[in-house]
């Protein structure tokens, strides 16, 4: 029973400690995780958009500020013409003459055109404006035939260019964007294509015009006014924003409304792509996303902020590219960014040539690309900084200084967690040790009781007499006989405790001694007579009676001890009875 109770108690203690430790420990883990994931949690929340696939990117750093289903395959509609324009501009001159054919003008019903006719001749520049401002599909066909000789050949050039600039999840089937089930892209790929296109000054100049006039041609004596379908660049339009440079619209029933926008403010150049967006609200959503980017981010020069990159001596001349900028959140210090260094000597010849070109190192530049540093905040890429060396000097031994930026609140949190856990574990260890000690003591006492033999009544009385004669007169000491091996066992009605004031006379009488016991019993005590009265009818045994009869007498004595206690408490009030009669009956 004790083991079961002790086990339950220990289980309760353990359960209680677990109820305290486990939640606290989990809370601490979450708190520490939240500190390490501060970048993710502190990233500002973008406004809601109805667009199915959305990307908001800082164009110069390629840092993505917001994205929604960026890898979903979508139909791009007329935003396809951004890639068409790039292929044309990289393969032709603006002064070339483009001839419209029957194939160019024979399009499906509802397709947007600039009202060209077969045999009409225009400057390639005029056709490019017709392609990008009103989104003329006849212009796309005419340019494709002019550049490649056939639409299919031009489409192959488009797909090759898409792969070259990193739009690996796209596939195009025509230069105009008219619907085809195998003509698709993603918002991430469209942002990559648009970013590449916006680096072309001619392309950027064309899309920035709110309108354009095509002079009379050989087939049309009148001028044609082209209106840019991107409403955010047209002054007087409700959606006008003077920070918007340009972009491209698109719409098909199958694709929904699409919009690509390029804008710049306070040194932050934003590129916003929305595919399958709200027909009436796509310009408003674009404006909200642009404001979100400008209000929460800024551009900094990484070379001015970076202090962890060093070189062995002044002659090594390891330099950080002063032209590299990275995107930063407002009110976030530079040291909270994480960085990764990439060494250029791991690249093969082709990769190194491309990396040098991207870093702005042209032929004849004495600098060599040594490495570049990528910067992140909460898992979000923010930009990079190139590291240059001069090959005319001795080989550099540049490396990152091993500096650890300490977050004091994180250290305090870890210290508190460890301290509390140590205190709880020490408390648990002390509790366990105390429980083990009590359990050992209990087992020791239990084993002692098992090894104690049961004495006969006469032996018990002899031991009690010796114990009393040794000077232990108090009741507690007599009860302490159990510690000497005289147990109070209920088995065979073993003797119980005897009152010290009359134990001598009672034990002497019950052991078979002759003579009256009145001399040894104090006057006024009637407790003994009450006990002997129950034996009045059977006291005729001779002096030499056996231990068995004596044991029975002791048993009577033991059984009446509780009743005699009450009689002793009233000894001064009850009339004393003569003990001679009792003695005489016992002697007979």
Q: pLDDT for 157-169, tens place per residue?
A: 999 999 999 999 9
pLDDT higher than threshold 90 for residue 358 = no
Asked if 473 and 504 count as a contact pair (C-beta separation under 8 A), the reply is: no
Condensed to tens digits (0 to 9), the pLDDT of residues 425-465 reads: 887 777 777 776 666 666 666 565 544 444 455 555 565 66
Same domain? For 396 and 477 the reply is no
Distance CA 561, CA 531 (A): 8
Catalytic residue among 53, 116, 135, 560: 135
Question: Residue 97, SS3?
Answer: strand
Same domain, 84 and 118: yes
- 551 domain residue, yes or no: yes
Last residue of a domain, one of 246, 281, 298: 298
Q: What is the pLDDT of residue 488?
A: 44
Query: Which residue is listed with tokens 């009544």?
Result: 457
Asked, for residue 6, whether it belongs to a domain, the answer is no
Q: Catalytic site residue 78? A: yes
- Is the pLDDT at 402 greater than 80? The verdict is no
d(CA 464, CA 486): 9
The C-alpha angle with vertex 264 and arms to 258 and 267, in degrees rounded to 5, equals: 145
Give domain status of residue 17, yes or no.
no
430 falls within a domain: no
Cα–Cα distance for residue pair 178/181, rounded to 1 Å: 10
Query: Which CATH number is 97's domain given?
Result: 3.40.710.10
Does the active-site annotation cover 516? no
Same domain membership, residue 502 and residue 468: yes
Cβ neighbour number for residue 337 with a 10 Å cutoff: 22
- pLDDT for res 388: 85
**Same domain for 179 and 264?**
yes
pLDDT for 537 equals 41
**Count: domains in the chain:** 3
- Kindly state whether residue 141 falls inside one of the protein's structural domains: yes
Please tell me whether residues 230 and 333 are part of one structural domain.
Answer: no
Rounded CA separation 417/427 (Å): 15
Do 62 and 146 sit in the same domain of this protein? yes
340 in a domain, yes or no? yes
* Cα–Cα dist 381/56, whole Å: 13
Using one digit for the tens of pLDDT, what is the confidence trace for 8-66?
A: 665 666 566 555 555 555 555 545 444 444 444 588 999 999 999 999 999 999 999 99
Which listed residue (11, 12, 68, 81) is catalytic? 81
The neighbour count for residue 405, using CB atoms within 10 Å, is 10
pTM exceeds cut of 0.75:
no
Residues 346 and 207 in one domain: no
Residues 315 and 275 in one domain: no
Q: Write down the catalytic residue from 78, 255, 303, 586.
A: 78
Q: Please give the C-alpha separations between residue 441 and each of 291, 409, 446, in angstroms, as whole numbers.
A: 76, 48, 9
How far is the CA of 542 from the CAs of 37, 340, 422, 548, 553, in angstroms?
Answer: 100, 111, 77, 13, 14
- Residue that terminates a domain, selected from 298, 316, 345: 298
Q: What pLDDT shows up at residue 512?
A: 43
Q: Give residue 88's pLDDT band: very low, low, confident or very high (50, 70, 90).
A: very high
Of the three residues 298, 319, 336, the one that is the final residue of a domain is: 298
**The length of the chain, given as a count of residues:** 588
Does one domain contain both 284 and 355?
Answer: no
User: What is the C-alpha separation between 578 and 384, in angstroms, rounded?
Assistant: 118
Answer yes or no: do 80 and 151 share one domain: yes
Task: State the residue range of the domain holding 145.
Answer: 53-298
Listed residue (193, 169, 171) closest to 182, CA to CA:
171
Q: Kindly report each contact of residues 489-494 with a partner whose C-beta sits within 8 Å and lies 24 or more positions away, as own/partner.
A: 489/454, 491/454, 492/454, 493/555, 493/558, 493/559, 494/454, 494/455, 494/457, 494/460, 494/558
Residues 249, 345, single domain; the answer is no
263 and 330 fall within a common domain: no
Q: What is the pLDDT of residue 109?
A: 83
Looking at residue 468, its pLDDT comes to 63
CA 345 remoteness from chain centre = 37
In a domain, 37, yes or no: no
Is 373 among the domain residues? yes
């Amino acid at each position: 029973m004790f083991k079961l109770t002790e086990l339950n108690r220990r289980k309760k203690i353990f359960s209680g400690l677990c109820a305290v430790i486990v939640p606290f420990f989990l809370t601490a883990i979450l708190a520490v995780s939240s500190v390490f994931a501060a970048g993710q949690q502190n990233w500002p929340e973008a406004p809601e958009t109805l667009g199915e696939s959305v990307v908001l990117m800082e164009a110069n750093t390629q840092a993505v500020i917001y994205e929604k289903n960026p890898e979903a395959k979508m139909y791009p509609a007329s935003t396809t013409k951004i890639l068409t324009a790039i292929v044309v501009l990289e393969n032709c001159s603006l002064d070339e003459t483009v001839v419209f054919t029957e194939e160019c003008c024979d399009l499906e019903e509802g397709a947007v055109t600039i009202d060209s006719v077969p045999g009409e001749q225009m400057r390639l520049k005029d056709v490019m404006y017709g392609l990008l401002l009103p989104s003329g599909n006849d212009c796309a066909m005419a340019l494709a035939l002019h550049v490649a000789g056939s639409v299919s050949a031009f489409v192959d050039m488009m797909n090759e260019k898409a792969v070259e600039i990193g739009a690996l999840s796209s596939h195009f089937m025509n230069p105009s964007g008219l619907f085809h089930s195998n003509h698709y892209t993603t918002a991430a790929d469209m942002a990559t294509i648009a970013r590449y296109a916006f680096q072309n000054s001619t392309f950027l100049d064309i899309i920035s015009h709110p309108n354009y006039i095509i002079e009379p041609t050989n087939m049309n004596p009148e001028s044609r006014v082209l209106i840019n379908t991107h409403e955010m660049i047209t002054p007087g339009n409700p959606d006008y924003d003077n920070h918007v440079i340009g972009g491209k619209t698109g719409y098909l029933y199958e694709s929904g409304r699409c919009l690509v926008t390029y804008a710049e403010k306070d040194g932050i150049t934003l590129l916003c792509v929305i595919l399958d967006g709200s027909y009436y609200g796509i310009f408003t959503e674009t404006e909200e996303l642009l404001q979100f980017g400008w209000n929460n981010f800024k551009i900094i020069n990484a070379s001015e902020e970076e202090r962890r990159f060093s070189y062995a001596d002044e002659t090594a001349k390891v330099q950080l590219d002063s032209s590299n900028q990275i995107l930063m959140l407002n009110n976030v210090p530079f040291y909270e960014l994480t960085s990764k260094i990439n060494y250029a000597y791991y690249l093969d010849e082709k990769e190194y040539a491309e990396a040098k070109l991207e870093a702005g190192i042209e032929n004849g530049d004495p600098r060599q690309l040594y490495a570049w540093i990528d910067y992140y905040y909460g898992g979000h890429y923010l930009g990079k900084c190139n590291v240059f060396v001069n090959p005319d000097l001795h080989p550099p031994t540049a490396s990152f200084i091993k500096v650890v930026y300490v977050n004091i609140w994180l250290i305090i949190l870890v210290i508190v967690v460890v301290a509390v856990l140590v205190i709880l574990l020490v408390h648990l260890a002390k509790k366990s040790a105390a429980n083990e000690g009590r359990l050992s003591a209990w087992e020791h006492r239990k084993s002692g009781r098992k090894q104690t033999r049961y004495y006969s009544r006469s032996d018990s009385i002899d031991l009690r007499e010796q114990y009393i004669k040794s000077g232990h007169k108090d009741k507690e000491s007599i009860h302490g006989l159990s510690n000497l091996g005289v147990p109070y066992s209920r088995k065979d009605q073993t003797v119980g405790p005897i009152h010290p004031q009359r134990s001598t006379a009672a034990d002497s009488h019950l052991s078979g001694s002759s003579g009256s016991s009145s001399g040894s019993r104090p006057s006024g005590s009637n407790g003994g007579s009450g006990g002997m009265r129950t034996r009045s009818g059977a006291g005729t045994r001779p002096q030499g009676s056996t231990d068995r009869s004596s044991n029975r007498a002791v048993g009577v004595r033991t059984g009446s001890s509780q009743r005699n206690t009450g009689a002793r408490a009233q000894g001064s009030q009850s009339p004393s009875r003569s003990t001679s009669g009792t003695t005489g009956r016992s002697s007979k």
